[in-house]
Amino acid sequence: MSTRSKTSARSLPRTSARPKPLPLPGEARVRVAVVGLGYWGPNLVRNLHELAAAELAYVCDGRPAALASISRRYPAVRQTASYDDVVADPDVDAVVIATPVSSHFELAARALAAGKHVLVEKPLAGSSREAVELMELAESRQLVLMPGHTFLYSPPVELIRGLIAAGELGEIYFISTSRVNLGLHQSDVSVVWDLGPHDFSILQYWLGETPRHVTAMSRSCVIPGIPDVTFINLEFPSHAIAHVELSWLAPSKLRRTTIVGTQKMVVYDDTSNEPVRVFDSGVDLPNPETFGEYRLTYRTGDIVSPQISAAEPLYLELADFCNSIQTGAAPRSSAEIGLEVVRLIEAVDASLASDGGRVALAARTGGAG
């Protein structure tokens, strides 16, 4: 009655061997090329420009207008419309790929083959097969391969992870999340491929586990064949369950997640002035053997909005990339997490393809990432 996701039979990269530190002199900056100057590219350029550990060496895009726009603000940065130039240049240490997902594999593979470290915008690749191949290529050459799951560097997300890890919320019962807005419809990927990586990476980061089962339902409202609203139900090995609602059609922008634990509950609202609110609420069942609503005690205590630092997540992500390159340490947004995210997206697609049938994901055969 369920469909197995294809990745299960594939071997996964071992996480134990880490890339050797790049042989850079102590204070040397990582020379980075940014490939793809669409929606996200300019943000990457801006942050790399400000990052002390990086030197913005190249911007690359096939469209002259995009290159012209960047050069007006950063006249000193070398530019090219040809990826060949970037890959061939020995002065480029690392490549940041911000192109449509269908090109991720090819561009990343070529960069890795040329001995460059790679940061590729989410999702890591268009299939788990490609993701695994990239990981193997990176590992064999001891290069950093990092997917750009920026939310892992968001201070609210980080704070919540700390709360969960410290046991402050107790065991996680369930998580319910909505990531919706009016637009932007993509012509090449569905809302699952576009928005799913955010919530899937965050869940992975918080719970440290990959869902065991998935069921999903979607509709392609505006563009035939491209789902723009999806309801995803997830079941985890720990028995936690989660619901993820993704949509390009909504009255207003909403990015809200509710986490319910045995001890406390959290509401994470990314668009709010108080992005994290911790509720000291729960249910106590004194005598688990004789239950009934007379035995339950509902506890509603204080609500705290902890002060959150205002760091820009993308800046922290790029700093982590550079640090991984310079020290060999694994980045927080690891390739392993990136692979789990792609496997989950594929499982969602498999469920949609089987009319909402339940899809199982095999446990990861590699490390926990």
Q: Which residues contact 317 (CB under 8 A, 6 or more apart)?
A: 119, 148, 150, 152, 153, 333
Residue 181: count other Cβ atoms within 10 Å of its Cβ: 17
Quote the Cα angle for 148-237-176, to 5°.
Answer: 60
- HSE-CB at 334 with a 13 A cutoff on CA atoms is 21
Q: Which of 109, 249, 330, 362 binds its own copies (CB under 8 A)?
A: 249
Kindly state the smallest distance separating residue 143's Cβ from its own copies, in Å.
32
CB 351 within 8 A of CB 358: yes
The interface region with its own copies, picked from 9-17, 83-91, 201-209, 291-299 by CB under 8 A, is 291-299
Q: Does position 11 bind its own copies by CB under 8 A?
A: no
Q: Is the peptide bond before 352 cis (omega within 30 degrees of 0)?
A: no
Binder to its own copies among 69, 103, 233, 263 (CB under 8 A)? 233
Work out whether 251 is an interface residue with its own copies (CB under 8 A): yes
Q: Least distance (Å) from its own copies to the CB of residue 328? A: 32
Helix axes 128-140, 104-113, angle to 10 degrees: 10
368 near its own copies, judged by CB under 8 A: no
CB of 276 to its own copies, least distance (A): 10
Q: Which residues pair with 217 in a beta bridge?
A: 231
Q: Is 27 in the site for its own copies (CB under 8 A)?
A: no
Determine the interface stretch with its own copies among 103-111, 122-130, 238-246, 313-321 (rule: CB under 8 A): 238-246
- Among 281, 330, 364, 366, contact with its own copies (rule: CB under 8 A): 281
Q: Lay out the site mask for its own copies across 166-185 (x = CB under 8 A, - = otherwise).
A: -------xx-x-x---xxxx
* CA distance linking residue 252 with residue 174, whole number of Å: 25
Region near its own copies per CB under 8 A, out of 28-36, 95-103, 121-129, 305-313: 305-313
Amino acid identity for residue 276 in this structure: V
Q: Return d(Cα 122, Cα 47) in angstroms, integer.
A: 17
| Nearest residue to 10 (alpha-carbon basis) of 290, 343, 357 | 343
Question: From residue 99 to residue 138, what is the string marking binding to its own copies with x (rule CB under 8 A)?
Answer: ----------------------------------------
